Structure 1
Amino acid sequence: MTALSINLNKIALIRNSRDTEYPSVAIHAARCIASGANGITVHPRPDQRHIRADDCYELASMIEVEFNIEGNPFAPATKSARPGVSDYPGFMEIIRLTKPAQCTLVPDTNSQLTSDHGFDLQQDGDRLAPIIAELKNLGVRVSLFMDPSPTQIRLAKDIGADRIELYTGPYAESFGSQHQDNILNQFIEASDVAYEVGLGLNAGHDLNLHNLFLFKNSVRNLLEVSIGHAFTIDAIEMGLDNCIKSYLSCLR
């Protein structure tokens, strides 16, 4: 079955809206795992607007399912602007200290509301190759956030990635429209190329209970999906336990 990794960024965002530790990211991680989630995903950014470096350290010390930390490997150390919040030590330093099961490298910036495109490896491949090598030496599986481009996916294999995570925003946007089949076919082709070159396949961004089943049953060899924004909304409406069960049902 395709693994379900729950992204807890939105839980952290709610917590950060007040000067409090409630809701607890760690407690929500434990509840998701107890309800059947196969993994936990976080995306610490330099501005620490949701997940903070300290959250990564706490989660790494407590969870026994797959821990996936995603972010921009070129993000530097940054001083915290919020009292009581520790400085951001740089993305790669977080990985060195936590050694998660998987690290998903994403080409995002602080100015983006959310990740909205994959790597251009013709531009960034040479810079990424030594980072990928370091992560693998740490025993961390490496996934690259990618658009459904066969050329780019082949380059991901060439520079040493273990997996790719397909950015599924365009699929989610087209779902139910006249463009759905054309966009979905791009992802099917991308999944075939990933399988052909020996890359594992993850997917994430705007997947939800309406569009996940079709995607999972169309693309080839989908190993893992990461879901956060829709999960948080669905958990409010359905309750966390029922929400997890519903997503797992889509993936069976």
Structure 2
Amino acid sequence: MTGFPTDRTVVLTGAGSPRGIGRYTAFHLAEAGWNVGLLDVDGDAAAATAAEVAEAHGVRAVGVGADVADRAAAVAAIDTLEEQLPQLVALVAFAGVSSPVPYLEVDADEWHRVVSINLEGTHWVTQRVARSLVGHGVGRIVGVSSVSAQRGGGTYSKTPYSAAKAGIVGLMRSVARELGPHGVTANVISPGPIDTDIMGGTLTEERKAGMAADGVLSRIGTPRDVAAAAAYLIGPDSGFVTGQTLNVDGGLYMH
């Protein structure tokens, strides 16, 4: 297997939101020496975050805009990042949208919106990045599911979200099996309630306490909890871990 390069790049999707996990993870990984490629539907936000990351940690960082559900746009965005940054070694696919719509009210537009961004978008970016990783003979891919997929909702989002996030687990297991012989691992992070805007806005202390009550710890998660899990799964020491789902949920789902 090809060695793990010192000068390496991680691509993060969904990294433009000011209070999002993707943005926090960009800073966390840059601090650990990763160059960072950021992809978000809001290209200006991605570019601004990249500039801040580069200034804060002295790494190379580039941000581009694309709707990951659009295959051509997703592929072109990764092409652009790869042209401007050192060797691609890892992907963490955070891009996603929530869906609190009750099942009996889910129409075709809502179903397609949620599945196309959360599942298809993860697939298109993963496939494009995987082509490069296989070519290099080394790589790490991390999909982002949700405890909602394992418990059938019960957080903020409901059925289309849970279905799409469950699909990510199957996708990554299949990718792990196919690409393992090429030195590429594929794993999943499954967060529980995390204090970000995807939970329907800034959380009140009362709402945080209510969410934490379902788990075994006395708090809900933070972006740092997820970023630390990502840092492990894309790092050089996780090379024998593949096809796995790492729950970062305070014990909300034990399996």
TM-score bracket for this pair, using the shorter chain length: 0.3 to 0.5
* TM-score in terms of structure 2 length: 0.38
Higher helix residue share: 2
- TM-score of the two chains, using structure 1 as the length reference: 0.38
